[in-house]
Amino acid sequence: MRSRQRMFAAVMRLLLKCLRLGRRRRFKLVRQVEQLWHYGHLCLRSLLYNSFTDGDVVLDSLFEPVYWLVDHVTRWFGVVFVALVIGLTSSIVAIVYICLLPLILQTYTPAWICWHLAYGHWNLIMIVFHYYMAITTSPGHPPQAKNDLTGVSICRKCIAPKPARTHHCSICNRCVLKMDHHCPWLNNCVGHYNHRYFFSFCLFMTMGCIYCSISGWEMFRDAYAAIERMKLLEKERLQVAANQTYYQTPPPTFSFRQRAFHKSVVYLWVLCSSVALALGALTLWHAALITRGETSIERHINRKERQRLQKKGKVFRNPYSYGSWNNWKVFLGVDVPRHWLTRVLLPSPHLPHGTGLSWDLPPCVTEQRAPLLAI
């Protein structure tokens, strides 16, 4: 009897210990939940303590993980996009040399042959040169140390001097002089020192695609019709093979070389036409920005500033615009008339006006514009 009582007492003591341990665990869990709640409440209040904080700042904070993922994916995919551009361009050039050039030499007149050879090779040289320079030329970065530059702000991410027209690239994780945008097809930022190379590549690539589309239109129609005939004959051959008797023979089929030729022509025309439409629209957009003397980022900034001043009855004037014609001369680096040939129509590695740190009046501009605002 006593042994049973002792055993019952031992079991009860063990049960009480388990209950006490469970209470401790529950208390610890509740305390952790309270700590997380207070931490989250503090984070939320830290977002709202500043009077300048608005909905955009909150959304940017919430989407910060998404921005981080996009930045890193874009940085990695840049190498893939560059390889894709080189591969597709090389395939078009190979098709032109292997399939189309022999046909041109056999059927065209000597004058047309000379024109196609001269224009085609000039356009190809301009595309290769400007694309190589765009991906290998640094867009320009401000110095990290303090200097004597006037009107310099501080970048909130780099904690370094930030000259006018400079913006921080989250993909490159650096400030870029006169930043336009980060181009994944270049795996590089488009800035002060390679903006001309980027635009020239877009322009000459569009011109080359239009040239191939127009020149190959008749060949494309013939090749497409030949492919349709291939499909029809292949269908008839299969039907004859299924019902073949002793005296029946299948209809003739196209050779592998003929199939490859026609499909290559169709591939060339479809790819060049698609790129001409997409890249042509982008080129026109950047041409309009250059005409106004602003970059893609400055367009949004100037539009907001224009709306803000319009409410006050003032007119906004871009301090970096010198007129449509002068803007193009400054962008292309044309100082004298012969530069239209040596710097625009021929490959030229000349540097742009200025250093990207200060924006003095270029020598090709003879008329001084109003600095900023006009009432």
Residue 166 burial (CB < 10 Å; 0-12/13-18/19+)?
Answer: buried
Residue 156 amino acid letter: R
Report the distance separating Cα 97 and Cα 333, nearest Å: 34
Q: Which residue has the tokens 């309270």?
A: 34
User: Around Cβ 133, how many Cβ atoms within 10 Å?
Assistant: 19
Q: Among 343, 318, 299, which Cα is nearest to 197's?
A: 343
In contact, 117 and 169? CB cutoff 8 Å? no
Q: Which residue has the tokens 């605002």?
A: 373
Cα dist from 90 to 26, 94, 128, 262, whole Å: 68, 6, 10, 18
Report the distance separating Cα 262 and Cα 226, nearest Å: 7
In contact, 95 and 265? CB cutoff 8 Å? yes
Catalytic residue list contains 364: no
Report the distance separating Cα 52 and Cα 63, nearest Å: 19
Which residue in the list 183, 189, 272, 364 is annotated as catalytic? 183
Name the 3-class secondary structure at 153: strand
Q: Which residue has the tokens 């501009």?
A: 365
Strand 188-190 and strand 181-183: the pairing is antiparallel
| Residues annotated as catalytic (active site), given as ranges | 183
